[in-house]
Amino acid sequence: MKKFSLVIIILFSSCLSWAELHFIKEDLHFSLDKENFYVEGDYYLENTSSKTSSKKIFYPFPEHESYGKITEITVTIDNSEVPLIRRENGVEFYLQVSPNETKIFNVKYAQPYQGNQVEYILITTNNWHQPLQQANYSLVFPKYLKLEELSYLPDSLEDLSEEFRFYWSKENFLPGHNFIVRFNKIK
């Protein structure tokens, strides 16, 4: 009985510590070329507790028959690249956030595509059980591709000579689906 109580206390403490770490904001920039989908983003995690929180973060990648394996990925925290543990559908890394601090980590990666769509996983935000306070997204879309569909309607658009730039700004955002761009090549 004592062992069982100790396990429950440890599990409860661990869950309480995780609950005090909040995913509050993301600033993401997407772009496409003829072969790759590029993602670069800043992610903001806030520790509202009086204790340091050290957690393993899993960063997932979309899986689809027309998506290739991630070719390049870096995660930086405080301007230093962190070691990554590669998994089949993502990477893991450790993050330490001091009490009452907001920590920003940056992720950059490239993913080849062979079909007519690219995807970024947004719905894992739901795993944090609260909406993002702020989410900002931009997409650079080359004019040598024909846009067929965006899974989220953009807030604004810039029409430049070689590309379109789409912008999204969301508050209190809990995604209902992933960010997907469908397109065709112009012949």
Single pTM value for the model: 0.86
Q: How many CA atoms lie within 13 A of 40 on its CB side?
A: 5
Find the CATH number of the domain harbouring 41.
2.60.40.3680
- Distance of alpha carbon 122 from alpha carbon 163, whole angstroms: 24
Enter the tokens of residue 128.
């944090």
Enter the tokens of residue 98.
């001091």
Q: Which domain holds residue 178?
A: 2-185
Query: How many domains are there within the chain?
Result: 1
Residue type, 62: P
In tens digits, the chain (187 residues) has pLDDT values of 544 333 343 333 344 444 589 999 999 999 999 999 999 999 999 999 999 999 999 999 888 777 888 878 999 999 999 999 998 889 999 999 999 999 999 999 999 998 899 999 998 888 888 999 999 999 999 999 999 999 999 999 999 999 999 999 999 999 999 999 999 988 6
3-state secondary structure of 108: strand
Q: How many CA atoms lie within 13 A of 97 on its CB side?
A: 25
